[in-house]
Chain A
Amino acid sequence: MNIASQSVGGEAVFKPMIQIDLEVKAFLSAWLHCDQISTYSARMISHNRSDSVRHSNLFSSAFNELLEVAFRARHSSGEIACRVSRRGETDRIELTFPCMPEERQFYEEAILQIAGSEARERYLNSVSGDLAPSREVVLLELAIDYNATFRLDEAGADTITLVVDLPLEGLPN
């Protein structure tokens, strides 16, 4: 069956592009893994975009930030799964990683903030502020600069899936 034409309830679904599963331990063994995974995936999925090089650069930029967030969470065990899928002009990143309840709450709140009206202001304040960018700021930046939208999925006990949609094809140059 042609995956691209699959649909559920009449709605076109995201077609899988690439998936990378890693032991958290292995992932955390080198900071460069964020860069390597994001760059590799970006290159692999961008060749059939209208401008492959530009798409790859933007995708890598956004994906790397998400991976860095996951890296900095520093969970000591479990698995991390990165899936990239596509529907039309939108690319979807799904990051599944171990997550304690309070952390889940953090993500839930962060996603609400992003949808809120002061998102841009919060972001600007953080740029001129003293603190290194927090996880929340990183997500905010993706929403503001890449028009990313976020959702949280349940993925089992003590794991979550962060679903990020990136409409990079439509980004103004």
Chain B
Amino acid sequence: MNPYLLPRFETQYDINDQEFSISGIVRPQSIDELAPSIALLKDSIDRVRGILYVNIRRLTQMNNTAFHAFSRVIIDACRARPDLKFVVITSSVVGWTTRKFGRLSGIEPNITVEEYDSEFYPGQTFLEEGGFIPILRTQTKLTWRHERTILPRHGMQPGIVMADICCGIGDFAVLVQREFEPSRIVALDHARTSLAYARNVAAEFDIKGIEYTYGDASEMLLEDDQFDLVTCRHSLQVFNNPELILKELFRICKPGGRVYITNEKNSHCLGEPRADSIQWTYNEVAKLWAHFQMDIELGPKSRRYLIEAGFEDIRVESFMVTNHDGDPQDFADVIAAWENVYAGEMATKRGDPPAFIRRFRQGFQDHIFAALHPKGYAGWPIWVASGRKPL
């Protein structure tokens, strides 16, 4: 079927949220093509009281013809009904929307424009900006030793077009580029600091072919059916709604291509000696994440998530990062960084009492002890899963 014959935009009114939304690509030749949408907007205006939210977060393109048509209805409504306010919600990802729609508030003070951003997500701020960067580095160094042999079983091969969603500081993309030479890598994240870091690394080491892009994994500007392999590592577990992200990963994957995810089950971190203290602490880590609506226990649930998202030929495997993967100090550094964030910022934010925090910290310390002990063993298990998008 010719995709250009399908309507490429959608408008909706949600009566409960008093929200009118426009999504997709709106480039009509004449406003007649918009008649049903304009009628819906007018009708929505007639029904609301107080505030009408105009959600354009998923609007990727709109020509001036359409912009004028929608704006006029809103401006007219402001003039006819001074009791009514309009809040236009844009996305920080679509560069032009805030600027263009922002002008409306200069015309009518009852129109305000708000940019939706990551602040709206619970929990994640601990992991997003700045502080986590050094841990991600070491973590990727440790996991790569395993993943480089695992990846080919999940669709990785030279020449493919791939995307790494929630790429963080981009180390994984760089390692993949070197080892597997895909023809193109798009690496997306929502943390500008991490992306800046990644771009710097790429420039410094003269790495070509990785496109770092700012975006929101739950609504990406990337087009449908584009990638042979879509990876999303250690990240489904940071969202309160991983289904939404998987839906997007599915959407951008080519039919016949694969989506590859890795996740943890932190309560299964282990070590000897001092196994009990270690286990206690990691059970608490799981609860702490849950408190912030994130699921650090997601690993073994990957299979279910992939099935429910519509994938087929699902492959799941797991591996254990240990203190014997290279330098035990690397392992110990990762644990120290976890302690820092989990028993520091996160526990404090939850309001944990000092006695709890002391015991909580002890488990991490014991894990480090096990890692550095000459006869010790320390492990961090990871679940890898991938599924094929049906043809």
Chain A residues proximal to chain B, CB less than 8 Å: 31-32, 34-36, 47-48, 50-54, 57-58, 60-61, 64-65, 68, 123-124, 126-128, 130, 132-133, 137-138, 141, 145-146, 171, 173
Contacts and interface: CB of A to CB of B under 8 A. Distances in A.
Nearest to A50: B199
B211 A53 contact: yes
A57 B96 contact: yes
A168 B114 CA distance: 22
Contacts of A31: 29
A173 to B, nearest CB: 6
B358 interface: no
Contact of B222 (A47, A53, A171): A53
Contacts of A64: 27, 61, 63
B211 A127 contact: no
B298 interface: no
B13 interface: no
Contacts of A124: 103, 106-107
A132 B65 CA distance: 7
Given A31-B29, A124-B103, A132-B65, A57 B211 contact: no
B27 A35 contact: yes
Interface residues of B, number: 41
Given A35-B27, A68-B63, A141-B64, A51 B214 contact: yes
Contact of A54 (B75, B104, B107, B213): B213
B95 A57 contact: yes
B38 interface: no
Interface SS of chain A = helix
A34 B27 contact: yes
A173 B99 CA distance: 9
A54 B95 contact: yes
B94 interface: yes
A32 B92 CA distance: 27
B69 to A, nearest CB: 8
B93 A127 contact: no
Contact of B211 (A35, A47, A126): A47
Q: Which 5 A-B pairs have the closest CB atoms?
A: A52-B211, A53-B213, A31-B29, A133-B64, A58-B95
B75 to A, nearest CB: 5
B31 interface: yes
Contact of A133 (B60, B68, B186, B199): B68
B168 interface: no
A51, A60, A65, A171: most-surrounded residue (chain B CB, <10 A): A51
Nearest to A60: B61
Contact of B107 (A34, A53, A127, A145): A127
A147 to B, nearest CB: 10
A77 to B, nearest CB: 21
